[in-house]
């Protein structure tokens, strides 16, 4: 069996893994938080401000408009931001490793 090519040690270090996971998790949690504010907040608004949420906007109640129509663009915005950002993160990580390889 041929021996696998030995990779730079920086990639296998504890620091690299921690950095990797922390950066990705931070991004994911930030995006999830933006989304959860809406998902947890809407029932609370319905609970504490029923009159406001029953306001009619173009025939819809405000709550119906937010939930049935406008929440989809919100989700698209969050996921678009997340995808751009996470692809950037990956490219940055690859660049860092390559730089490390050149330095060592």
H or E segment and range at residue 21: helix 14-48
Interface residue with another protein among 58, 102, 103, 104 (CB under 8 A) is 58
Rule CB under 8 A: which of 1-30 touch another protein? 1, 4-5, 7, 11-12, 14, 16-17, 20-21, 24-25, 28
DSSP-assigned letters across all residues of 42-87: HHHHHHH-HHHHT-EETTEEHHHHIIIIIHHHHHHHHHHHHHHHHH
The tokens describing 19, both together, are 């950095």
- How far apart are the C-alpha atoms of 86 and 26, rounded to whole Å? 11
Binding site for another protein (CB under 8 A): 1, 4-5, 7, 11-12, 14, 16-17, 20-21, 24-25, 28, 31-32, 35, 39-40, 43, 46-47, 50, 53-54, 56, 58-61, 63-64, 67-69, 71-72, 75-76, 78-80, 82-83, 86-87, 90-91, 93-94, 97
């Amino acid at each position: 069996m041929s021996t696998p090519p030995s990779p730079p040690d920086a990639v296998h270090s504890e620091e690299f893994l921690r950095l990797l996971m922390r950066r990705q998790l931070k991004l994911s949690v930030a995006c999830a938080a933006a989304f959860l504010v809406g998902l947890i907040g809407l029932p609370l608004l319905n609970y504490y401000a029923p009159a406001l949420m029953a306001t009619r906007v173009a025939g819809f109640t405000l709550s119906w408009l937010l939930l049935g129509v406008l929440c989809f663009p919100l989700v698209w915005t969050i996921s678009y931001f997340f995808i751009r950002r996470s692809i950037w993160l990956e490219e940055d990580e690859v660049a860092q490793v390559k730089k490390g390889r050149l330095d060592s």
